[in-house]
Chains A and B, each alone.
Chain A
């Protein structure tokens, strides 16, 4: 069967599966819609969190970026996994004990303030929309490449699928769909990685083959060969860094803290039954994420070595077949500047003849390894699973924030649960349409939105939640002042360097050499300082709030009069 036929078949089958699950797990009550009834098993929640978290960026782009920047790519690897340690230790158990439905719920109740709740709703909706726009675009691109439809059509198909299971099923439908999507995406990622590892290093486990010796040159380590090839061509050695240490430090921290503060990840910990389930499910989530995140740098190194070895300095006519297939898509481009029919690849723009889109590294893998056609279809299905699961999780945060935090908690407190559920579904539907619009007409900033979403999450939510749990004296004045300072500072810095003065966006003009990607860390620090200072000079929170904080710090009150049997 052709690649096209396999892709239709596998993508079609996985979609039937997702929709089937959505119908089976449709939500009947607001509690099922918002937090899947609060009884998801920790293992299932771990898988769902992993799928929720790993987006098209993780699946398609990350290995490609690492492949081109080598060790500097570690900011993504450590940044997007280390946040789970913060989440598991500092936030998840306490938010579960708090036991409501959303992040603004917590912020509003803990800081006994509608203003704080509104600030949190605005942050949640803004972060989610910037993030979801990129996902819908990703869905459109994968569809258009593998199903040969226009990007617009691809986005439209994606909208219908997401609409179906986010609007019908709510959190319950999304959770079980995401479990299936995790299985699809991890299988699709590992199959080609394992085959390539076997071909190049003779080792079945990519993580081990990464540090192993080459099958074709026994005794030579893959990474040493890669360093050698890179320097021969004038690139920096693969295993050394070029970014400044301070920038690497700040970017990693912003990604970690942003991960821990992203609303669609935090809400997943409201869906499990008990505090101890929340703790362990963060562990499962990171374990499932780590399977992909430790494979990615191996894939990156294999792909890089393969590219330098088989393409660079080779006669154009003798290149492998995958080169010409991807040339047709325009994502690889050979420009024979000196007309010698030999591919010359170099960091020097004057003489370099080869241009490669970073995103093809994962997508082209099956062809590079000459794997059967069905694997290509599988990778397409995996990329779609990654993008759709993240989009659905974000859309749910938007609809919950609107239906619950704006309508019930702020404007119409006496609304019935049935009507609230209708509002939640309408909001989810509206969010799908807006997200689809951004997918079709991407605002110029989609490429930079990831930095934006993470920086904002790091600078706004994380300190407010952290202080809300760990400081009994933190009051509403401090929290609101901190959130507003953190957000305004971070947004202003990013907007200044990426939209207003992009020509100044380099290390020379950055404050302390911190790039816009890493500035959320400084925003978070400012938030903490402002919050602590303001709260020192204003009243302590009321007694019932202090009791609530004591309450969320322990999983269950023991009852000395009636000890459990």
Chain B
């Protein structure tokens, strides 16, 4: 039981680290640290770095949270930690 909770927690931490790495790369990486370098590439009317700073990173943030929700719901089920529906209580 305790072991199961530990495995669940470890997997959770791996998800967090991966998702937060993407979070860091699109915002602090593409939007701030490498913005000038990325600006030499273009996507339609946008310079790429500018796009990440003002639009792209926000879209990625939204997607990241929904990926997290999906991963965690799956993990809850796998370890039988998912919350029961009202009727099953």
- Which residues B50-66 have CB closer than 8 A to chain A? 50-51, 53-55, 57-59, 61-62, 64-66
Q: Counting CB contacts under 8 A, is B41 at the interface? A: no
Given contacts A71-B54, A211-B46, A211-B51, are A85 and B20 in contact (CB under 8 A)?
yes
CB neighbours of B57 from chain A (8 A) = 77-78, 81-82
The answer to whether A84 and B61 touch across the interface, beta carbons within 8 angstroms, is yes
CB neighbours of B62 from chain A (8 A) = 283, 286-287, 290
Bound state CA distance, A550 and B16, in angstroms? 17
- Which residues A538-561 have CB closer than 8 A to chain B? 550, 553-558, 560
- Which residues A278-303 have CB closer than 8 A to chain B? 279-280, 282-283, 286-287, 290, 293-294, 297
- Which residues B23-39 have CB closer than 8 A to chain A? 23, 27-28, 31-33, 35-36, 39
Q: Is the interface of B mostly helix, strand, loop or mixed?
A: helix
CB neighbours of B46 from chain A (8 A) = 210-211, 223
Could you count the A-B residue pairs with CB atoms below 8 Å apart for me: how many are there?
149
Interface size class, chain A: 35 or more
CB neighbours of A221 from chain B (8 A) = 44-45
Bound state CA distance, A553 and B72, in angstroms? 12
Interface size class, chain B: 35 or more
- Which residues A207-230 have CB closer than 8 A to chain B? 207, 210-213, 221-224
Bound state CA distance, A550 and B76, in angstroms? 15
CB neighbours of A66 from chain B (8 A) = 54
Could you say which of A88, A211, A297 contacts B44, with CB atoms under 8 Å apart? Answer: A211
The answer to whether B58 and A213 touch across the interface, beta carbons within 8 angstroms, is no
CB neighbours of B36 from chain A (8 A) = 240-241
The answer to whether A283 and B23 touch across the interface, beta carbons within 8 angstroms, is no
Bound state CA distance, A557 and B44, in angstroms? 51
Residue of A nearest to B46 (CB): A211
CB neighbours of A240 from chain B (8 A) = 36, 39
Over the window 73-101 of chain A, the binary record of Cβ atoms lying under 8 Å from chain B Cβ atoms (1 yes, 0 no) is 11001100110110011100100000000
Q: Counting CB contacts under 8 A, is A444 at the interface? A: no
Tell me the smallest distance from the CB of A257 to a CB of chain B, in Å. 12
CB neighbours of A89 from chain B (8 A) = 16, 19-20, 65, 68
Given contacts A276-B83, A555-B82, are A210 and B55 in contact (CB under 8 A)?
yes
The answer to whether A239 and B50 touch across the interface, beta carbons within 8 angstroms, is yes
Residue of A nearest to B28 (CB): A249
Bound state CA distance, A514 and B63, in angstroms? 31
Q: Counting CB contacts under 8 A, is B1 at the interface? A: yes
Tell me the smallest distance from the CB of B81 to a CB of chain A, in Å. 5
The answer to whether A211 and B43 touch across the interface, beta carbons within 8 angstroms, is yes
Could you say which of B16, B27, B45 contacts A78, with CB atoms under 8 Å apart? Answer: B27
Tell me the smallest distance from the CB of B63 to a CB of chain A, in Å. 9
Q: Counting CB contacts under 8 A, is B14 at the interface? A: no
A-B contact pairs, 22 of them (CB 8 A): A73-B54, A78-B27, A81-B57, A84-B65, A85-B20, A89-B68, A93-B72, A211-B46, A224-B45, A241-B36, A248-B32, A253-B28, A276-B69, A276-B72, A280-B69, A286-B62, A290-B58, A290-B62, A550-B5, A556-B82, A564-B80, A564-B88
Q: A210-B55, A213-B45 are in contact. List 4 more A-B contacts (CB 8 A).
A: A82-B23, A240-B36, A276-B76, A280-B69
Contact surface of A with B, Cβ cutoff 8 Å: 66, 71, 73-74, 77-78, 81-82, 84-85, 88-90, 93, 207, 210-213, 221-224, 239-241, 245, 248-249, 252-253, 256, 274-276, 279-280, 282-283, 286-287, 290, 293-294, 297, 550, 553-558, 560, 563-565
Q: What 7 A-B pairs have minimum CB-CB distances, sorted nearest first?
A: A221-B45, A74-B53, A211-B45, A283-B65, A558-B80, A297-B54, A211-B46
